[in-house]
Structure 1
Amino acid sequence: MSTAARTTNKMSGKVDEDLYVGVDVGSGSVRAALVDGRGRAIHTHTHTITIANPQQDYYEQDSEEIWQAVCVCVKAVTKEVEDKSKIRGIGFDATCSLVVVAPDFTPVSVSPSTGEDRFNIIMWMDHRASGEADFINSHPHKVLSFVGGKVSPEMQTPKLLWLKKHMTSTWVKAGHFFDLPDYLTFKATGSTSRSLCSLTCKWTYLSEQVGTGDESQSEGWDEEFFRLIGLEDLAEENWVRIGQEVRAPGERCGGLTHTAAHMMGLCTHTPVAASFIDAHAGCLALAAAGLTDGQVLTGRLGLICGTSTCHMALSPGPIEVPGVWGPYGGAVLPSTYLAEGGISASGALVDHIIRGHPCGGGGGGSDGNIYKRLEECLEEEARREKLSSPSLLTRHLHVYPDFHGNRSPLADSHMTGMVCGLNLDLSERSLALTYLATLQALAGWRC
């Protein structure tokens, strides 16, 4: 496991107020923060994690590596807190990746190329189940109206169907299928409860708040839908492998077990909150940012950017938009509905563009920051061409950014990207221009 990438510490002197720990598991790293009761970050720590990409569209991770990284980060941010009882709670968010474990909670392989049990996570960005998503979408059902009309291969039902069809031994061995955020609360508490956030947004679980009139649905799994798509065995098992107990995000789901507390350096029974998907935690933070008395959370659009970009908005009532995921009732806050669009590869696309160019692998500049080097190149080119803005440099170069399919509003995972205006130039200038055109494409992309 790689060494920590970043640590910050703003703690000074004795701490007399209540403290809290937040853990965020992104695609490539784990981050933890120690915060006070007013939400001010006192200490942060970051640790990188492995992404395996054995073949095109396959992205896998190791749940034990991630858990170890979580414990390292939590221990690092709390090590200077003398009285650990001051830490009143811990919360987790993580990517909506699929974790597969045996009945005894040991890892079960999702990797057909290696068969290694170590790799037991199908990452959110894995598109191996595109065919299964197409199959599900070819069977119209009212459940699909709550995901914009189509499931995505980034959701869990297509991935479950893929495992059942293509890795039968894994399907048989599996005792539990977790969303990664729920796996973390399980490791922390021993509870197999699931968060309404993950189940509603990625597993086609229906919240009690979803739907009106003839389309109204009571909370729970829709057995008819699972039988229709070929996952009837999950229903026949009374949903034990995908979740029987569901909690609202932020609700207490248990306390730290002795083992988890020891690994983190915290007190046993420290309260643990039901989890969020990482982007959805960001949605809550952005929706509340800068609010004054009398303002409401709804009606604001938040863009949560990382490997992908999620466009999220909360509304007081359900709004169905074709090609936009949702409406998800209670997935972020009670009595609100979430609509979610986005771009499947944004930060990942920028990385791809840079890595794929001959000038992209060596870093550079006074501090080795390739982004600074490219920006300096663009400024210099704009001055040389006497342009009012570097943005005009790409007037003959255009990027269509759906390199990893279209998440919204077309909801087509088979879409591909394009760069228009290329020539034989392989200089640093050509990389800088393509980098700029990529940023412009992402910034101007529709929700």
Structure 2
Amino acid sequence: VREAVGRAGVRREDVAGLGFDATCSLVVLDAAGGSLPVGPSGDPRRDVIVWMDHRAIAEADAINDSGHEVLRYVGSAISPEMEAPKLLWLARHTPETFAKAGHFLDLTDFLTYRASGSLTRSACTVTCKWTYLAHERRWSKDFFETIGLGALSGDGFRRIGAEVADPGAPLAAGLTAEAAEAMGLAPGVPVAAGLIDAHAGALGTMGAAFGADPAPDPRRRLALILGTSACCMALADEPLFIRGVWGPYFSALTANQWLAEGGQSAFGAAIDHLMRLHPAYPAYLRRADGFVTMEREIVARAGGASAAARLARDLHVLPDFLGNRSPFADPSARGGVVGLDLSDDDDSLRALYVAGLCGLAQGLRQIIGALENGGYDFDTLVASGGAARSVLVRQIIADATGKRVAAPETSEPVLLGAAMLGAVAAGRHTMRGAMAAMSRLASVTEPAGGEIAELHAKKGRAFEALQDAERRMREAMR
């Protein structure tokens, strides 16, 4: 924060508000705010279960077996990445930590707590990851008792959030004196109820103006947040229930609208993993600037970003290395590669990279199809996150999905979304006003037609055949 203020050349008094975003990781504290261990090491410094930790698959299965009505609001199947399965895992495997815990917080809520002293949770975090029923402004006591977490309901759900505020709402008296001293800001600066990082990316892009369209309809846009994982965010005025797509979540992003969230548990992480499997990758990294150089070489060799798909015509990647989040809600799904030969040179490395991107784009195509079959109608995919900066990534997604892909002006739309929260908390904008006033799109990538479109259609059929084969192999080995 000190560095940002210095580089911006503003006085600390000019900072109007603070917004926070973070991954949907689980923080465990005792009643005094001290750290508690969440794993077998017993080390209290390890007080966070990271969002992509799948230790709670068995607990997620048990919760899903309950068939409880609450599960309708998580796509009919809860994920081990959500907090209820992780809480159940803690209760089963670290009962001492569970009993001592005074506060279970999403990481975003932990940050706003440290900044403001307020334990009020964001409606974004608790609705999207904790099964809070925002449309009824309540937790379901019956649900927690049914799944074996009734201990959390006895004190009015104080340990997981007795008070919940909409994203952007100002918390307590703003920045505490201690936090202000640490950040180099003035005490009392408004601190906003936060957002999960992907949701901040959606906020930073879904209302962005472009060209002659200064007031786009966010309901016609699908926000793609492409980082370690991929998140796909869509807004509607009415609840749309789609199996395998998380939600619908009420007022989790914008007031009085319903949010749906599809996604892939590994996106950038899948490409990293895939590259590390290839024998040429370590040497390539030593002499090249990673993926930037690789993509430049791929586009040059292929004769264009769309033409790059030809390099992976007969090489197919199923990138479900960490399960399939959407649209199949199958955390036990696994990845695979078909079409490998004995080549181990740089050309085969580049082909594998393109094949990985094509596989991820086919997964996004399936998610978009599930959303549109469920009632959504998108005219634009708005991409943010580290991977979205790549022209090649945006073009392959456009070509595989048949949708135009827009990119924002800012290189950090997730942080921009958090800044919007600060502006809302300070009273400078409403949420919708901030979306329109503070963001713009820089470019739009149109999908290719003709032979390239047909190539992706063929690869789509191969992708689905590979998915089916993976399911049948798992079944055969049971």
Q: TM-score range by the shorter chain?
A: 0.7 to 0.9
State how 1:154-165 maps to structure 2 within 5 Å.
154-165=81-92
Find the residue that maps to 1:272 and give its secondary structure: coil
Partner letter of residue 319 of structure 1? Answer: L
State how 1:188-199 maps to structure 2 within 5 Å.
188-199=115-126
Q: Deviations over 1:284-319 (max 9, x none)?
A: 222101264564322321111101111111011111
Given that 1:365 and 1:372 are in contact with CA atoms closer than 8 Å, whether structure 2 keeps it comes out as no
1:298 paired residue number: 219
Work out whether 1:342 is the aligned partner of 2:263: yes
Partner letter of residue 133 of structure 2? Answer: L
Aligned partner (choices 351, 355, 358) of residue 440 of structure 1: 358
- CA shift for structure 1 position 414: 0.5
Task: Label 1:388 to 1:308 Cα distance change in 2 as closer, same or farther (>3 A).
Answer: closer
Find the residue that maps to 1:125 and give its secondary structure: coil
Q: Deviations over 1:130-150 (max 9, x none)?
A: 110000000011101111101
Partner letter of residue 235 of structure 1? Answer: S
| Equivalent-residue separation in structure 1 for 2:138 and 2:12 (angstroms) | 38
Find the residue that maps to 1:88 and give its secondary structure: coil
Find the residue that maps to 1:357 and give its secondary structure: coil
1:110 paired residue number: 38
Q: Deviations over 1:80-99 (max 9, x none)?
A: 65632111111001111100
| Equivalent-residue separation in structure 2 for 1:247 and 1:84 (angstroms) | 27
Task: Label 1:193 to 1:371 Cα distance change in 2 as closer, same or farther (>3 A).
Answer: same
| Equivalent-residue separation in structure 1 for 2:14 and 2:273 (angstroms) | 44
Task: Label 1:376 to 1:196 Cα distance change in 2 as closer, same or farther (>3 A).
Answer: closer
1:230 paired residue number: 148
1:69 paired residue number: none
| Equivalent-residue separation in structure 2 for 1:363 and 1:191 (angstroms) | 49
2:236 paired residue number: 315
- The percentage of aligned residue pairs carrying the same residue is 46
| Equivalent-residue separation in structure 1 for 2:283 and 2:181 (angstroms) | 42
| Equivalent-residue separation in structure 1 for 2:297 and 2:341 (angstroms) | 18
Given that 1:79 and 1:265 are in contact with CA atoms closer than 8 Å, whether structure 2 keeps it comes out as no
Given that 2:59 and 2:80 are in contact with CA atoms closer than 8 Å, whether structure 1 keeps it comes out as yes
Could you state the TM-score of these two structures normalised by the residue count of structure 2?
0.72
| Equivalent-residue separation in structure 1 for 2:180 and 2:335 (angstroms) | 46
2:61 paired residue number: 134
- CA shift for structure 1 position 351: 1.0
Given that 2:26 and 2:107 are in contact with CA atoms closer than 8 Å, whether structure 1 keeps it comes out as yes
Total equivalences in the alignment: 361
Given that 2:207 and 2:215 are in contact with CA atoms closer than 8 Å, whether structure 1 keeps it comes out as no
Task: Label 1:318 to 1:379 Cα distance change in 2 as closer, same or farther (>3 A).
Answer: closer
Work out whether 1:288 is the aligned partner of 2:207: yes
1:214 paired residue number: none
Bigger fraction of residues in helix: 2
List alignment gaps of at least 5 residues for structure 1: 1-73, 209-217
| Equivalent-residue separation in structure 2 for 1:135 and 1:116 (angstroms) | 28
2:295 paired residue number: 375
RMSD: 2.0
Q: Deviations over 1:345-376 (max 9, x none)?
A: 0011111112232222345487x412144335
Given that 2:5 and 2:11 are in contact with CA atoms closer than 8 Å, whether structure 1 keeps it comes out as no
| Equivalent-residue separation in structure 2 for 1:271 and 1:429 (angstroms) | 53
| Equivalent-residue separation in structure 1 for 2:182 and 2:66 (angstroms) | 46
Work out whether 1:265 is the aligned partner of 2:184: yes
Partner letter of residue 282 of structure 1? Answer: G
| Equivalent-residue separation in structure 1 for 2:171 and 2:316 (angstroms) | 49
Partner letter of residue 290 of structure 2? Answer: I
2:423 paired residue number: none
Given that 2:127 and 2:134 are in contact with CA atoms closer than 8 Å, whether structure 1 keeps it comes out as yes
Structure ranking higher on relative contact order (CA contacts 8 Å, 6+ apart): 2
Task: Label 1:161 to 1:393 Cα distance change in 2 as closer, same or farther (>3 A).
Answer: same
Aligned partner (choices 245, 248, 251) of residue 327 of structure 1: 248
Find the residue that maps to 1:91 and give its secondary structure: coil
| Equivalent-residue separation in structure 2 for 1:363 and 1:428 (angstroms) | 7
1:215 paired residue number: none
| Equivalent-residue separation in structure 2 for 1:245 and 1:314 (angstroms) | 25
Aligned partner (choices 33, 38, 48) of residue 121 of structure 1: 48
2:316 paired residue number: 398
- CA shift for structure 1 position 377: 4.8
- CA shift for structure 1 position 379: 5.0
1:207 paired residue number: 134
State how 1:229-248 maps to structure 2 within 5 Å.
229-248=147-166
Q: Deviations over 1:182-201 (max 9, x none)?
A: 00000001110100000000
Given that 2:207 and 2:216 are in contact with CA atoms closer than 8 Å, whether structure 1 keeps it comes out as no
Bigger fraction of residues in strand: 1
| Equivalent-residue separation in structure 1 for 2:260 and 2:75 (angstroms) | 9
1:77 paired residue number: 4
Aligned partner (choices 393, 412, 416) of residue 334 of structure 2: 416
| Equivalent-residue separation in structure 1 for 2:144 and 2:306 (angstroms) | 57
| Equivalent-residue separation in structure 2 for 1:382 and 1:313 (angstroms) | 34
1:171 paired residue number: 98
Partner letter of residue 289 of structure 2? Answer: N
2:20 paired residue number: 92
